[in-house]
């Protein structure tokens, strides 16, 4: 009988390309991954991996097995959800991931409602960038998460994950009020091509959005400061340290002295979980609480 946990490692190797990357995504050592993959080959009775210089690659049999792993994992998630639904009440851990603006706005009301309705459910929240969520869900470090995507940074389809829309926001260009030569509202981004910019850390979706939106306007931004907290970003903008892109949900932290120019670009927030896991009672209850909390932001709620 093949071990599904080992099959998961094979699928991750197919996706990520190196044993080191698999080990990092699964929070273990490369030697442990290699041992598990060798054990899977013994179970399968055929070679699944071959050396290609310093790298490894999947054989035809390995690729076939990796492709079959996703549907098997989804079926196991569905089976787990069915068993959980047979219990009289929700109990145990529910690990929730969210990005900073969601942690400060939508998530607290959802946690209060979820805790009141299901007091035996242990809620654990981790704040992280949406770019880190898929690996955290696949590894089981999270059960459900809030992620976002921008018009210029769309999410790649991922058969391992299931998502549903939650919020839809306008993205604004933020600059210090009273700045000489404020940008033309008809093309505010291009009008700021010679200015300093404030962006998220390299590797985050917010950083990539800033770069791509500016490139679409015909220039590469001169990034002066990096900040991942929008409260800090807006404070730097108010101090005249540069201009920045800020989604609507983050404007709860808007200090005095910040001017906003609405853009056509949008940010969309999604609820994500493992494929097959959306029917788990705890995940479904959390999704419902998040939708109810999002309804408190009628200007943003996704249709």
For the record, the structure tokens of 172 come out as: 């604004």
Q: What is the pLDDT of residue 87?
A: 75
Of 247, 251, 230, the C-alpha closest to 150 is: 247
Domain annotation for the chain: domains and CATH numbers: 4-84 (1.10.10.10), 91-303 (3.40.190.290)
User: φ and ψ at 225, to 5 degrees?
Assistant: -130, 150
State the Rg of the chain over Cα: 22
What is the SS3 string spanning the chain?
Answer: CCCHHHHHHHHHHHHHCCHHHHHHHCCCCHHHHHHHHHHHHHHHCCCCEEEECCEEEECHHHHHHHHHHHHHHHHHHHHHHHHHHCCCCCCEEEEEEECHHHHHCHHHHHHHHHHHHCCCEEEEEEECCHHHHHHHHHHCCCCEEEEEEECCECCCCCCCEEEEEEEEEEEEEEEECCCCCCCCCCCHHHHCCCCEEEECCCCCHHHHHHHHHHHHCCCCCEEEEECCCHHHHHHHHHCCCCEEEEEHHHHHHCCCCEEEEEEEEEEEEEEEEECCCCCCHHHHHHHHHHHHHHCCCCCCECC
Q: Please identify which residue in the block is written with the tokens 């050592």.
A: 29
- Separation CA 228–CA 90 (nearest Å): 35
Q: What is the pLDDT of residue 293?
A: 94
Q: What is the pLDDT of residue 185?
A: 64
User: φ and ψ at 121, to 5 degrees?
Assistant: -85, 120
Q: What is the pLDDT of residue 302?
A: 47
Q: What is the pLDDT of residue 183?
A: 55
What are the pLDDT digits (tens) for 180-209?
655 556 789 999 999 999 999 998 999 999
Residue ranges of the chain with per-residue pLDDT less than 70: 179-185, 298-303
Q: What is the pLDDT of residue 17?
A: 86
Q: What is the pLDDT of residue 180?
A: 60
Q: What is the pLDDT of residue 301?
A: 47
For the record, the structure tokens of 198 come out as: 């404030």
């Amino acid at each position: 009988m093949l071990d599904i946990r080992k099959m998961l490692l094979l699928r991750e190797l197919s996706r990520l390309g190196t044993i080191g990357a698999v080990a990092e995504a699964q929070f273990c050592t490369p030697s442990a991954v290699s041992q598990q993959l060798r054990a899977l080959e013994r179970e399968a009775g055929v070679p699944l991996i071959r050396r290609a210089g310093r790298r490894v690659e999947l054989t035809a049999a390995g690729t076939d097995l990796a492709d079959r792993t996703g549907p098997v994992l989804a079926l196991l998630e569905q089976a787990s959800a069915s068993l959980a639904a047979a219990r009289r009440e929700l109990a145990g851990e529910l690990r929730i991931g969210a990005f900073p603006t969601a942690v400060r706005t939508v998530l607290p009301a959802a946690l209060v409602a979820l805790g009141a309705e299901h007091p035996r459910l242990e809620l654990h929240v981790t704040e992280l960038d949406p770019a880190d969520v898929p690996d955290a869900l696949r590894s089981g470090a999270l059960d459900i998460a809030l992620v976002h995507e921008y018009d210029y940074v769309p999410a790649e389809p991922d058969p391992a994950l299931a998502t549903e829309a939650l919020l839809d926001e306008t993205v604004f260009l933020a600059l210090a009020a009273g700045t000489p030569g404020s940008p033309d509202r008809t093309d505010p981004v291009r009008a700021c091509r010679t200015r300093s910019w404030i962006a998220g850390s390299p590797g985050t979706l917010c950083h990539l959005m800033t770069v791509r939106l500016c490139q679409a306007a015909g220039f590469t931004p001169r990034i002066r400061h990096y900040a991942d907290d929008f409260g800090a970003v807006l404070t730097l903008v108010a101090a005249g340290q540069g201009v920045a892109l800020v989604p609507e949900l983050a404007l709860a932290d808007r200090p005095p002295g910040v001017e906003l120019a609405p853009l056509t670009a949008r940010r969309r927030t999604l609820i994500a979980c493992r494929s097959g896991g959306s029917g788990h009672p705890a995940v479904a209850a959390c999704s419902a609480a998040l939708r109810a909390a999002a309804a408190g932001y009628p200007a943003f709620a996704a249709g």
